[in-house]
Structure 1
Amino acid sequence: MGIETIAPLKRCAIYTRKSTNQRLEHDVNSLVTQREISSAYITSQQYKGWVELPNRYDDGGHSGSGMDRPALSQLMQDIEAGEIDVVVVYKIDRLTRSLADFVRMIEIFDRRNIALVSISQAFDTSDSMGRMILNVLLTFSQFERELIAERVRDSIRTRKRHGKMHGGLPPFGYIATPDGLKIDEPEAEIVRFIFDEFLKTRRYTKVMTAVRERRYCSSVKYSPRGKPRGGTAISPSTVYAIVQNPMYVGEIRGHDTTYPGEHEPLISRDIWDEAQIICQERKKRRPHNRDTDHFLAGLLWDDLGRHMRLDLKWHWGKFYKTYVSSNAIWSQKLFLRQYRASADQLDEVV
C-alpha cells in the first residue's frame, strides 16, 4: 500500500515594480497584471506545496537601478525574518537591473535558502541551470540599462550644444513655452535687482536682506498637469543660485563648459563677469587639520570611548579650532551630546 508524500509548504511572495507613475491610479495597470500572472503561476504549483502570501510588495514609480525602494526593503526584511521561502517575479528586471545589486540579493537568498522564480523567463534558482540562465539574463539587463543611460546623456549634451534646456523646471525669471524659454517680467526684475545689490554690497546675506525687505515673491506658475507652484518668498538658496547661474547671461551650463543659449539674457556680460569675480573672491578654501600644528589630532578619546577629531571652521570671519567627539551612530541613538574643547587651550595644557 503506497504512502502519499505531502510536500512541505512553500510561502511565496510576489514582487512587482513599475518605473513610472503613469496609469497607477487605474484599476488595471502593470502592477496588477504582474501580480495576477504571478498569482496564477503559484496556483499552478500548489502540488509542490506553494502558497501565496497575502502581503503585497508593489513598487510603483521606482527605478530598477537601485535598491532604495520601500516594497523591496520590506521584502528583504521579511526574508531576513524567515517569513518567505520563494520570491516570484514576472521578469527578473522587475527585481533589479543592476548586476551588483543582484549579486548582493542572491547572497541573501542563498543564506536564507530562498528560491527566486521568474515566470516569463522560465527559470528557478533552486537548480544550477536556473542560476546560469539568470546570470546571463541579468548581464543583458544591466547592459540595456547602461545603454539607455548613455542615450539620455548624449541627448542632454546635444540639446545643450544647440542652446536648449533639457527638461526640468525653467529657472527663476523664465517661463517654458512650446517655442522655448521666455522672460517672466516680474521675476526678471527681481533677478536684475539681485545682481545690482550683489555688485553694490558684495555679500549674499545683504542681498537676501534687501530681497526680504521688499517682500519679493516668485510668480505662480503651473505644471503640465495644472498644479500651481510658486507664489512664495524667495529663499537664500535661490538668491545664491541666481548669482551663479549662467542662464541669465544667455548661456547653458554644460559638464565642463557653457554653450550659447537660444533664450534671451536678463543681464549684460559686464554685470555677469563682475559678479563672478566677486563670487571667486568670496570662496574660502576649507581648512584642513594637516595645515595646523595641533599635535593631539587623532590621539584623543573622550570618557565614553569616542574618538575626538580636530574640527576647523570659519564663523563670522573668525577661524575656530576645536577637538570634538565623533558623532558615532550608537551615541546618536542614546542622545549623547558631543564633547567640544578648544584646541589651543588643550594643547597648552598638555
Structure 2
Amino acid sequence: MDLVRARQVDVIVVYKVDRLTRSLADFAKLVELFDEYDVSFVSVTQSFNTTSSMGRLTLNVLLSFAQFEREVIGERVRDKIAASKRKGIWVGGPVPLGYRSVDKKLEIVPEEAALVRKIFMDYLHLGSIATLAASLRAEGLRPKPKKSSANSPAPQFGVGALFYLLKNRIHVGEIAYRGETFKGEQPAILDRETFDAVQQKLKEQSIGRNAVRQASPSLLAGKIFDDRGNPMSPAHANKKGVRYRYYVSQALLQGRKLDAGSVPRVSAPDVETLVMAALRREHSESETRVREADRDLVDRLLNRAVVNRQSISIYLRPETRVENGESQEEGNPITSPFMPALPVRKGVVHRPPDAGALSDEARTALLAAIARAKAWIAEIQRDPSLGFSDIAAREGLGAAYLRRLAALAYLSPPPLVEAIAEGSGGADLTPTKLLGDLPLNWAEQEERYLSA
C-alpha cells in the first residue's frame, strides 16, 4: 500500500479476487484507495468490469462467497478445537513447562516438573510474582528455550510468564476453554490443594492491584508496551514539589537494559494525550456522542498501545472491532506520530491562567500554529511513509520544534478553537503555554481555559 500511495504502481494483478482479500469491508477500502491513486485491478481467472453496475454486482457476489467460505472454515476450526478441548485433548501450541510433546500428547519431564512445583511453593512463600522472578534469576533458573532459538540461552523468567504459569490449569491435569474446565488427558504435576492456594493468593492480589489502578492517574497502566513487547510500568519523580509521571519499560526496571525497546522511558501525559485523542476519534465514529470518562474509554476500547521511536501503535479490543463490522482478530493498529524525547511538559503541573485577553497578534499567531499543526498531522495520516523530519526539512524548521507544535492539532475543536478565533480566550492561550501544560482531554482543556 505504501507503493500505491507513492504512485509507483499502475496495475495490481491477482490469480483470483479472494487472493487479495476475503472481506467485503476491506475490499471496499482497497478499491477506494486504488481509485484515488489511479491503480487498476485485474484478476487473471475471473472476468468482470467494474465500470458497469452488473460488473460491480458480480464482483460483490464473488467476494461475498469468498468471505462466507472464510467464515465457514473459521467456524469449523473453532468447533473442532472446542470439541477436542471438551474431551480433554491438548490441541497444540507452546508446550507448557514440565511437559514434553510425544505423538501429540503431553508427558511429564521430571526435572521440569520439579521446577514447576518449586515455583508454586516459592510463590506461596514469597507472595509476590516480581519477588519470585527476582529469586529465580538469582538462582540461575530459566524456562525452557524455544525451538526457534535452541542454540541460544533460554530467556529469564518474566513477571508475565510467571503469572501465566501460575494460572495454567494444565499442571493439575485439566484443560481450560472459554471459562470452562475439563478433565485433561495429561497427567497432573501439582496437587489440587497447592494449586487452589496459589489461585486464592493471585485473586487477593488482583483485587488490590485493581483498586490501586483505579486510584492511579496513569490511564495506560497494564496496557502500554515498548516495541520489544516489554510492559511499561508507571513511575514518577518529584522535583521542587511537582510530581512528574512516566512509563518505564519493565526490562529497564529489571536491569535488562539491552532487552528494552527503542523507547524505554516516555512522559506519561504526552503518550496519554495521543492515545486518548485516537480513542476519542474511534468513539465518535462508532458510538453515540455521549462523552465517556477517559478511564472508561480506555477500559472499553483499548487492547494495548505500543511505543515506537516515531509513532504509537494503538490496538483496539477485538470485540470493539466486531461491533464496527471488522474481524475478531486484533487487526491493524491506529498509528499516531510521536516524538518520545519531547523537551516539554514531563509531568502533571497545574498553572492557573493569567488574567487578561488574548491580543490580536497572539491570536493570529496561535490560529496559524493550530492550522499548520492540523495540516501536518493530516498529511502524515494520508501518507504514513512521511515523517516529521521530512516535513521539517520542507518547511525549514527544526524537527523537534515541529513535533512539539504538532500537539496543537489535538486542541478541543468546537469550543476552545472557536474561543481563540473570536478572541474570547484568555491571555494564557499561547502556543508556549498550551504545549507546556495541555490537559489530557477536551473537557479538561475547556474547563481550564474557558472557565474564567
CA–CA distance in structure 2, aligned partners of residues 240 and 192 of structure 1? 14
In structure 2, relative to structure 1, the CA distance for the partners of 1:334 and 1:266 (3 Å cut) is closer
Name the structure 1 match of 2:100.
175
Query: How far apart, CA to CA, are the structure 1 residues paired with 2:141 and 2:345?
Result: 42
SS of the residue aligned with 2:121?
helix
Q: How does 1:241-280 map to 2 (within 5 A)?
A: 241-280=164-203
Q: Secondary structure at the match of 2:8?
A: coil
Q: Where in structure 2 are the equivalents of 1:159-174 lying within 5 Å?
A: 159-174=84-99
8 A Cα contact 2:120 2:166, kept in partner = yes
Relative to its length, the structure with more strand (as a share) is 1
**SS of 1:273's equivalent?**
helix
- The match for 2:299 is none
The correspondence of residues 1-80 of structure 1 with structure 2, limited to 5 A, is 76-80=1-5
Alignment deviations for residues 97-152 of structure 1 (CA, whole Å, 9 cap, x no partner): 11111010011122233322112112243444332211110011000111111111
1:218–1:231 contact (8 Å) kept in structure 2: no
Opposite residue 68 of structure 2, the aligned amino acid is F
Question: Does structure 2 retain, via aligned residues, the 8 Å contact 1:116–1:125?
Answer: no
Moved over 6 A (4+): 320-323
CA positional deviation for 1:279: 0.2
Q: Tell me the alpha carbon deviations over residues 64-104 of structure 1, each in whole angstroms, 9 at most, x when there is no partner.
A: xxxxxxxxxxxx22322333333221101111111111010
Residue 325 (structure 1) aligned to one of 257, 265, 269: 269
- The structure that is helix-richer by fraction is 2
**SS state of the match for residue 338, structure 2?**
helix
Alpha-carbon displacement from aligned partner over 1:306-346 (angstroms, at most 9, x marks no partner): xxxxxx9688xxxx987853334687238415624457x87
What's the CA shift for 1:209? 2.5
Contact 1:109 1:115 in 2 (8 A): yes
Q: How does 1:200-279 map to 2 (within 5 A)?
A: 200-219=125-144, 228=150, 232-236=154-158, 237-279=160-202
Q: Does 1:138 align with 2:85?
A: no
Letter in 2 for 1:166: V
Q: Residues 209, 147 of structure 1: CA spacing in aligned structure 2 closer, same or farther, 3 A cutoff?
A: same
Alignment check: 8 A CA contact 2:5 2:37 kept: yes
Q: Secondary structure at the match of 1:211?
A: helix
Show the 5 A alignment for 1:74-153. 76-153=1-78
Map Cα deviations across residues 27-63 of structure 1 (whole Å, 9 max, x no partner): xxxxxxxxxxxxxxxxxxxxxxxxxxxxxxxxxxxxx
Change (3 A) 1:118 1:278: same
CA-CA distance at 1:286 after TM superposition: 5.4
In the other structure, the counterpart of 1:198 is 123
User: What TM-score results when the alignment is normalised by the length of structure 2?
Assistant: 0.49
Q: Contact (CA 8 Å) 1:115, 1:125: kept in 2 or not? A: no
Tell me if the contact between 1:313 and 1:321 (Cα under 8 Å) persists in the aligned partners: no
Aligned to 1:30: none
What RMSD over aligned residues (CA atoms) do the two structures have, in Å?
Answer: 3.3
CA contact (8 A) 1:157 1:254 kept: yes
Equivalent residues of 1:84, 1:114 under 8 A apart: yes
- 1:325 aligned counterpart, secondary structure: helix
The residue type equivalent to 1:133 in the other structure is: T
Report the CA distance shift for 1:235/1:334 in structure 2 as closer, same or farther (over 3 A). closer
Do the aligned partners of residues 162 and 338 (structure 1) sit closer, same or farther apart at CA in structure 2, a change above 3 Å counting?
Answer: farther
Q: Report the 3-state secondary structure (helix = DSSP H, G, I; strand = E; otherwise coil) of the residue aligned with 2:46.
A: coil
Instruction: Say whether the 8 Å CA contact 1:118–1:124 is kept in structure 2.
Output: no
Percentage identity across aligned positions?
A: 33
For 1:187 and 1:136, how far apart are their aligned partners in 2? 54
Structure with larger Rg? 1
2: CA distance, partners of 1:222 / 1:322: 43
Task: Sort the Cα spacing of 1:78 and 1:210 in 2 relative to 1 into closer, same or farther, 3 A.
Answer: closer
Whichever residue aligns with residue 278 of structure 1, its letter is: K
Mapped partners of 2:8, 2:196: distance in 1: 63
What's the TM-score once normalised by structure 1's chain length? 0.62
Segments of 5+ residues of structure 1 without an aligned counterpart are 1-75, 298-311
Cα–Cα, structure 1 residues 335 and 215, in superposed 2: closer, same or farther, change >3 Å? closer
Alpha-carbon distance change, 340 to 314 in structure 1, aligned in 2, over 3 angstroms: closer
Q: 1:187 is paired with a residue of what secondary structure?
A: helix
Structure 1 pair 321–184 and aligned structure 2 pair: CA distance change class (3 A): farther
SS of the aligned residue for 2:141 comes to: coil
CA distance in 2, matches of 1:287, 1:338: 28
Whole-angstrom distance in 1 between the partners of 2:341 and 2:146: 43
